[in-house]
Structure 1
Amino acid sequence: MEFLPIKRALMSATDKSGLAEFAAFLAGNGVELVSTGGTRRMLEGAGLKVTPVSRVTGFPEILGGRVKTLHPHIHGGVLADKDNPEHMATLRELGIAPFDLICVNLYDFATAAAKGLDLKQAVEEIDIGGPCMLRAAAKNYHSILVLPSPAYYGRAMEEMRTNSMRVGLEFRREMSVLTFAATAAYDRMIADYLSAAAR
């Protein structure tokens, strides 16, 4: 679709710069906010109504937070092609609500690695759910907007203000490209770290 209405957003951010302001803009325009752990607590602390991810999945966060968004009620809502009637029928049949916006940035592995942690501790700082959501949304940019950094919140708000809470396809494609570049750089950094640690 050319212009995507933004009605439901999933937020999970390590770098929370500007996030409360962005979330308040979304909520003030009728967007449902869904969020995980620390991000949810921060947004609630800012006075915003937030749906916990565990309420969406019907499953608690487990394994010390390793598993929280890896669930069909999250990824089905991210990956559904909104122009495909079969996809939308499947969501309705399974009671899955689609997402329109994914606002995710990744665990700061570079800082963790620089602290000189032992290998097992450092590995715990590798983000799994975040890259999965980012890549899924970037793949499905025809049907969802992905924002991988606070650097893009301002542009996203301007896009929505200009287009009555909708975002254009070209902006979504641009964010998809930037997202794939970000996840590629993240994986390269981890591969380089693990390679050096094996020497």
Structure 2
Amino acid sequence: MVAANPLPIRRALISVSGKTGIVAFASALAARGVTLISTGGSAQTLGAAGIPVIEVAEVTGVTEFLDGRVKTLHPAIHGGLLARRDRPDHLAALTERRIAPIDLL
């Protein structure tokens, strides 16, 4: 089923173990004005390709640990992903906590 009014994609979180195709995909998103957030290795790959990227640690204020196994487990990430855009109370909770929505994972 296709949504009648699809939400615009403004922010995307990119975190992959295999980097094949990541540069082309991220480049296409960036060309459409999407802000990219990414984890360590993925962010390095994108940055090396000249694609603007925000590291997850800049969003969360916490560097990854446990050999990179913990990097996106944070309210600033999960709140941005899970908030329903059709719920004013969800949007208010994001605003109150200064969390920006993440539209694409």
**TM-score, normalized by length of structure 2?**
0.93
State how far apart, in whole Å, the 2-side matches of 1:56 and 1:90 are: 17
Partner of 1:33: 36
Counterpart of 1:21 (choices 24, 37, 43) is 24
How far did 1:42 drift? 0.4
Identical-residue share of aligned pairs (%) = 54
* Bigger CA radius of gyration: 1
State how far apart, in whole Å, the 2-side matches of 1:66 and 1:11 are: 15
State how far apart, in whole Å, the 1-side matches of 2:51 and 2:33 are: 12
How does 1:102-113 map onto structure 2 within 5 Å? Answer: 102=105
State how far apart, in whole Å, the 1-side matches of 2:63 and 2:17 are: 20
How far did 1:18 drift? 1.3
Structure 2 residue 78 is the aligned partner of structure 1 residue 75:
yes
Counterpart of 1:43 (choices 43, 46, 49) is 46
Structure 2 residue 54 is the aligned partner of structure 1 residue 58:
no
What code does the residue aligned with 2:61 have? G
How does 1:134-145 map onto structure 2 within 5 Å? Answer: none
Where 2:7 maps in the other structure, the secondary structure is: strand
After superposition, the C-alpha distances for 1:117-145 in whole angstroms (9 at most, x for unaligned) are xxxxxxxxxxxxxxxxxxxxxxxxxxxxx
Counterpart of 2:97 (choices 94, 99, 110) is 94
**TM-score, normalized by length of structure 1?**
0.50
How far did 1:21 drift? 0.6
Structure 2 residue 8 is the aligned partner of structure 1 residue 5:
yes
State how far apart, in whole Å, the 1-side matches of 2:80 and 2:73 are: 12
Comparing both structures, which one devotes a greater share of its residues to helix? 1
How far did 1:15 drift? 2.0
State how far apart, in whole Å, the 1-side matches of 2:66 and 2:26 are: 28
Return 5+ residue gaps in structure 1 as ranges: 103-199
What code does the residue aligned with 1:59 have? V
What code does the residue aligned with 2:71 have? K
